[in-house]
């Protein structure tokens, strides 16, 4: 038996077609997510992290089109599915925790109702007993995520931010998905609640052997919870590898600079170096390596040819850079 990865994204390119231009939001991105592992996708705002995630569940805004690539979930290409098949796949196989936790619930329906509706929908049949069963499941889910099961009939505005986030996670777990995509799930929360939510996600991931894609711009969150890390820059994946490799042995100049730009609370006091410059315009991306205008190590080759992913320190550590590993002076 050959072990296949839970999710395999191969050569994905997603572009936005605007009135006069074409924004290459995601270009030739490939990565895999294993069962029971958490992959952190990091990068500056606007680097295409969310577009990758939306491409996987095929919920892009009208202007967005997937140009090339395949997205294999359990070896089945999601991009080949019809709209209706894809609709059925959502939440059953892949669920999604959106960036805007606060508004993810419909304000005029109670929380339990919004979770049961998806259980009933995915269950296929509608009957009174199924409905009862669904409500029972919601109570259990509430217990799992650490909410009071008595509050299933509460309205969203009666929950605090952290509770809402737990309820959203409960909703995401409602149909036992294989893959969970969490898009900046903790950005809006304070540090203590953030920590609790991260622990909860971690626990669910282990207990349910869940594959998780964790999207954030906050490297410290990734360092804490992810096994694998992917660094994105301007629509390109520039480096992937295990968390320890990336944080201790990151080879791409952008990765290094990104890590340096984050303060460490426990470590010694060092000078934080902000990243100079702004990300490029994705309608007219720079030739060659997209990072070269901001890269201190750029050479002529970087401007001419796009660097490809190459194995670096191990078979699982890939870097797309001609000068990988070289010291930044």
Partner 1 sequence: MGFRRYIIRRAIDSIILLMITVIFNFILFRVMPGDPTTAILGRSGSPVYNPGEYRTRLIERFGLNKAILPFIDKDFQITPDLNTLIDNQFVVYIQKLLVGDLGISFNYFPQEVSYLIFGHRLLNTILLMGLSIVLSFLIAILLGTLASSKFKSKTDMTLIFTTLTSYSTPVFWIGMLIVFFCYGQLGILPYGGSPRIEEYSDLSSWGLDYLYHMIGPLVTLTISFVGAWFLIARDQMLGVFTEDYITTARAKGLKERRVMFVHARKNAMLPMISVLALAMTYLVSGATMTETVFNWNGLGLLTYESVYRQDYPVLQGLLLLVAAVAIISNFIADLIYGLLDPRIRY
Partner 2 sequence: MTLEFDIDVIIMTTSTQIETISEYLVPTRYLRYKIRFKRFWGLYTDSPFGLIGLYLVIFFLVIGITPQILAPYDPNISMTGGRNAAPSTAHPLGTDRIGRDIFSQMIAGTQISLLIGLTAAFIAVIIGTLFGIVAGYYGGWSDTILMRLTDFFIQLPQLPLMLVFVALFGPGVENLIIIIGLLGWTGTSRMVRAESLSIKERAFVEATRAVGASNRHIILDHILPNVLPLVFANMILGVVNAIISESALSFLGFGVTGQWSWGRVLYEARREDAMITGAWWHFIPPGICIMLVALGFALISFSLNEVLNPRLRER
Nearest distance in Å: CB 45, partner 2: 8
Nearest distance in Å: CB 297, partner 2: 25
Q: Which residues are registered as beta bridge partners of 73?
A: 7, 76
Binding residue (CB under 8 A) for partner 1 from 13, 89, 249, 313: 89
Binding piece for partner 1, criterion CB under 8 A, among 91-99, 142-150, 185-193, 215-223? 91-99
Nearest distance in Å: CB 304, partner 1: 41
Binding residue (CB under 8 A) for partner 1 from 75, 103, 127, 199: 103
x-marked contacts with partner 2 along 5-24 as a string, rule CB under 8 A? -----------x-xxxx-x-
x-marked contacts with partner 1 along 45-84 as a string, rule CB under 8 A? ------------x-x-------------------------
Residue 233 within binding range of partner 2, rule CB under 8 A: no
Give the separation between CA 47 and CA 230, rounded to whole angstroms: 12
Nearest distance in Å: CB 57, partner 1: 6
Give the strand pairing for 211-216 and 179-183: parallel
Residues that bind partner 2 (CB under 8 A): 16, 18-21, 23, 46, 61-62, 279, 281-284
């Amino acid at each position: 038996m050959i072990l296949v990865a839970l999710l395999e994204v191969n050569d994905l390119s997603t572009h936005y077609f605007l009135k006069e231009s074409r924004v290459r939001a995601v270009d030739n991105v490939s990565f895999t997510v294993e069962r029971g592992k958490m992959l952190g996708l990091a990068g500056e705002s606007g680097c295409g992290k969310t577009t990758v995630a939306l491409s996987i569940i095929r919920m892009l805004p009208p202007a967005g089109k997937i140009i090339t690539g395949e997205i294999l979930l359990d070896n089945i290409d999601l991009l080949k599915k019809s709209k209706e098949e894809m609709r059925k796949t959502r939440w059953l196989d892949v669920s999604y925790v959106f960036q805007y936790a606060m508004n993810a619930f419909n304000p005029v329906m109670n929380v339990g109702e919004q979770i049961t509706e998806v259980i009933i929908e995915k269950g296929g049949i509608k009957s009174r007993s199924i409905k009862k069963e669904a409500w029972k499941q919601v109570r259990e889910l509430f217990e799992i995520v650490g909410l009071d099961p008595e509050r299933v009939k509460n309205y969203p505005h009666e929950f605090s931010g952290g509770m809402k986030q737990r309820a959203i996670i409960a909703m995401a777990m409602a149909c036992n998905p294989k893959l969970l995509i969490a898009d900046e799930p903790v950005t809006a929360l304070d540090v203590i609640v953030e920590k609790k939510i991260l622990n909860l996600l971690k626990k669910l991931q282990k207990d349910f052997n869940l594959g998780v894609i964790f999207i954030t711009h906050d490297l410290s969150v990734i360092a804490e919870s992810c096994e694998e890390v992917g660094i994105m820059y301007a629509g390109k994946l520039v480096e992937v590898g295990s968390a320890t490799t990336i944080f201790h042995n990151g080879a791409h100049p952008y990765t290094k600079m990104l890590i340096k730009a984050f303060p460490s609370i426990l470590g010694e006091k060092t000078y934080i170096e902000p990243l100079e410059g702004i990300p490029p315009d994705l309608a007219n991306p720079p030739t060659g390596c997209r990072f070269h205008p901001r890269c201190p190590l750029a050479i002529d080759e970087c401007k001419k040819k796009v660097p490809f992913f190459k194995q670096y320190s191990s078979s699982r550590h890939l870097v797309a850079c001609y000068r990988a590993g070289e010291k930044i002076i």
